[in-house]
C-alpha cells in the first residue's frame, strides 16, 4: 500500500476583457472572453513579471514542491478563465466562479459576464473534460459556496441563493437573501465563503469597504461589517459579525477543533480569530469600539511583501501525518504557497514558518484560493497574470 500525494492545479489567465466579437468555445459552445492590454502599472517592488507567460504544462514543470509530492493540472484556459472562487458538490464536481467585470462592473443596462461553471472529470483521468455554464449575467461576483441543494453567490451589493428547480443543470431561480454589501474598494468585496463547524456560512471582507446588510424580506437593523469575518445562517437568513479586524482577508478556514484562521494583506499575514474578537487592523476604527484593546496576529515571522489570498488548514488524508493541521496560504507577490506550523499558545496559537510548500518560479503565478478537496488533495486556484497589484 502506498500513500498517494498530489496537488491539483488550475492555471488560468486574467486581466481586462476585450469587447470585440466574442468567439465560442470549440467544444462546449460558451463565449470565450479574451484579455485586453492592461493600463499603466506600478513599478519598483510592485512591477509586473518580466518573463513571458508559460503554457499550463510548462508552468507545471517549474513548480518546486516538498520531496515526494507532485502537482497536476486539472483545468486551464479556455475551459476556465479569471477564477475567484471554487466549491465542490456532492458528486465531486468542481464549480468555479469567473470574474470578468472587475473593477468597474457591468455597464448600466448590460448583463454582466461573470459566471459560474461546472467542471467534471468524466473519464477519471484527473483532468476536466466536461464544462457547463450554470449561471451567467453576474457582475462583480466574488463569492461562491454550494450547499442545501443550491449555490450561495456573492455579487455586491447582494448575496444570492441560486437554485436549479427543474434539474436541467442551469440556474433558474435567484433569490436575494442579504443586501447592502459595500462596493467602495472593488478588491475587498465579500469573498471567501466556507461552511463553519456550526453549519453557518462564513465569509471575509476588506477594511476599505463598508457593508450594512439586511434581509430584504425581513429588514431590521443592518449588520455593519468592515474588515473581518461574518457568518450567515441559511435557515433564518440572519447575518452577524464573527470577528472584526485585520485588513483584506480573502478566505477563512477552520482546524479540527473549530478554530478559525484568516490570512491578511499589508499587516501581519496570519490571525487566529475568536468569536466576538476585535483585532489589529490596517486602517480605521472598529464599528464596535467598546473593548480594552485590539488582539494581535499570531505570527513570529514575515514572508515576502504584502498580498496574501486564501488559507487552508490541511485535514485531508493524502499527505503524511505531520501535515495534519498545517496552515497553507497563497502569497501573490512571492508567487508561492507558504506553509506555517500552528502551535498552541495559551488560549490562542503561534504560527511559525516551515517551508515553501509550493514555489512556482514563475512571476505570473497568482494563487487566489488554496483548499482541501474531497479527494484529500490540496487544490490551488491560480489567477495567472503578470500584474500582482489590481
Q: Which triple of cell numbers denotes residue 304?
A: 515576502
Nearest alpha-carbon partner for 379 in 330, 331, 335: 330
Which residue blocks in the chain are alpha helix, DSSP H? 56-62
Q: Which triple of cell numbers denotes residue 219?
A: 429588514
DSSP string, 47-106: PPPSSPPPPHHHHHHH-B--TT--EEEEEETTTS-SEEEEEE-TT-PEEEEE--STTT-S
Report the percent of the chain where pLDDT is more than 90: 78
Please tell me what DSSP assigns to residue 107: P
Let me know if residue 127 belongs to a domain: yes
Nearest alpha-carbon partner for 181 in 145, 207, 161, 205: 205
Let me know if residue 34 belongs to a domain: no
Q: Cell 459566471 sits at which residue?
A: 115
**CA-CA distance, 230 to 181, in Å (whole number)?**
12
Let me know if residue 95 belongs to a domain: yes
Q: Average pLDDT, whole number, for the chain? A: 91
Let me know if residue 92 belongs to a domain: yes
Q: Are 117 and 134 in contact (CB under 8 A)?
A: yes
Per the structure, how many domains does the chain have?
1
Residue 236, number of CB atoms within 10 A of its CB:
10
274-319 pLDDT, tens per residue? 999 999 999 888 887 787 889 999 999 888 877 899 999 999 999 9
Let me know if residue 348 belongs to a domain: yes
**CATH number of the domain where residue 293 is located:** 2.120.10.30
Q: Which triple of cell numbers denotes residue 189?
A: 468585496
Let me know if residue 130 belongs to a domain: yes
Let me know if residue 51 belongs to a domain: no
Whether residue 352 has pLDDT greater than 70? yes
Nearest alpha-carbon partner for 131 in 113, 115, 145: 115
Nearest alpha-carbon partner for 79 in 124, 40, 45, 130: 130
Higher pLDDT, 347 or 33: 347
Mean pLDDT, residues 158-184? 97
Let me know if residue 37 belongs to a domain: no
Q: pLDDT at position 286, please?
A: 84
Expressed as residue numbers, the domain containing 244 is 78-359
Amino acid at each position: 500500500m502506498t500513500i498517494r500525494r498530489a496537488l491539483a492545479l488550475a492555471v488560468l489567465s486574467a486581466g481586462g476583457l476585450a469587447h470585440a466579437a466574442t468567439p465560442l468555445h470549440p467544444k462546449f459552445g460558451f463565449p470565450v472572453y479574451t484579455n485586453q492590454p492592461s493600463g499603466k502599472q506600478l513599478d519598483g517592488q510592485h512591477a509586473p513579471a518580466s518573463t513571458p507567460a508559460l503554457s499550463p504544462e510548462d508552468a507545471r514543470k517549474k513548480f518546486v514542491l516538498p520531496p515526494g509530492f507532485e502537482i497536476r493540472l486539472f483545468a486551464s484556459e479556455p475551459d476556465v478563465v479569471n477564477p475567484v472562487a471554487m466549491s465542490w458538490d456532492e458528486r465531486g464536481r468542481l464549480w468555479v466562479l469567473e470574474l470578468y467585470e472587475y473593477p468597474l462592473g457591468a455597464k448600466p443596462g448590460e448583463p454582466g459576464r461573470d459566471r459560474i461553471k461546472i467542471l467534471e472529470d468524466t473519464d477519471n483521468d484527473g483532468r476536466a473534460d466536461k464544462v457547463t455554464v450554470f449561471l451567467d449575467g453576474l457582475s462583480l461576483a466574488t463569492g461562491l459556496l454550494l450547499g442545501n441543494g443550491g449555490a450561495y453567490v456573492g455579487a455586491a451589493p447582494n448575496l444570492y441563493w441560486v437554485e436549479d428547480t427543474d434539474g436541467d443543470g442551469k440556474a433558474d431561480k435567484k433569490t436575494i437573501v442579504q443586501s447592502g454589501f459595500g462596493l467602495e474598494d472593488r478588491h475587498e468585496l465579500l469573498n471567501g465563503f466556507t461552511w463553519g463547524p456550526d453549519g453557518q456560512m462564513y465569509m471575509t471582507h476588506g477594511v476599505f469597504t463598508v457593508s450594512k446588510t439586511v434581509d430584504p424580506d425581513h429588514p431590521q437593523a443592518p449588520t455593519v461589517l468592515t474588515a473581518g469575518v461574518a457568518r450567515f445562517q441559511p435557515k433564518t437568513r440572519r447575518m452577524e459579525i464573527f470577528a472584526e479586524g485585520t485588513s483584506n482577508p480573502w478566505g477563512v478556514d477552520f482546524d479540527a477543533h473549530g478554530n478559525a484562521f484568516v490570512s491578511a494583506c499589508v499587516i501581519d499575514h496570519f490571525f487566529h480569530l475568536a468569536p466576538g474578537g476585535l483585532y489589529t487592523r490596517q486602517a480605521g476604527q472598529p464599528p464596535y469600539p467598546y473593548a480594552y484593546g485590539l488582539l494581535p496576529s499570531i505570527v513570529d515571522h514575515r514572508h515576502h511583501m504584502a498580498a496574501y489570498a486564501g488559507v487552508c488548514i490541511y485535514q485531508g488524508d493524502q499527505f503524511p501525518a505531520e501535515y495534519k493541521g498545517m496552515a497553507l496560504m497563497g502569497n501573490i507577490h512571492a508567487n508561492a504557497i507558504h506553509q506555517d506550523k500552528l502551535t498552541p499558545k495559551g488560549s490562542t496559537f503561534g504560527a511559525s514558518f516551515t517551508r515553501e510548500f509550493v514555489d512556482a518560479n514563475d512571476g505570473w503565478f497568482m494563487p487566489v484560493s488554496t483548499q482541501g478537496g474531497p479527494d484529500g488533495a490540496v487544490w490551488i486556484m491560480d489567477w495567472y497574470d503578470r500584474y500582482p497589484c489590481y
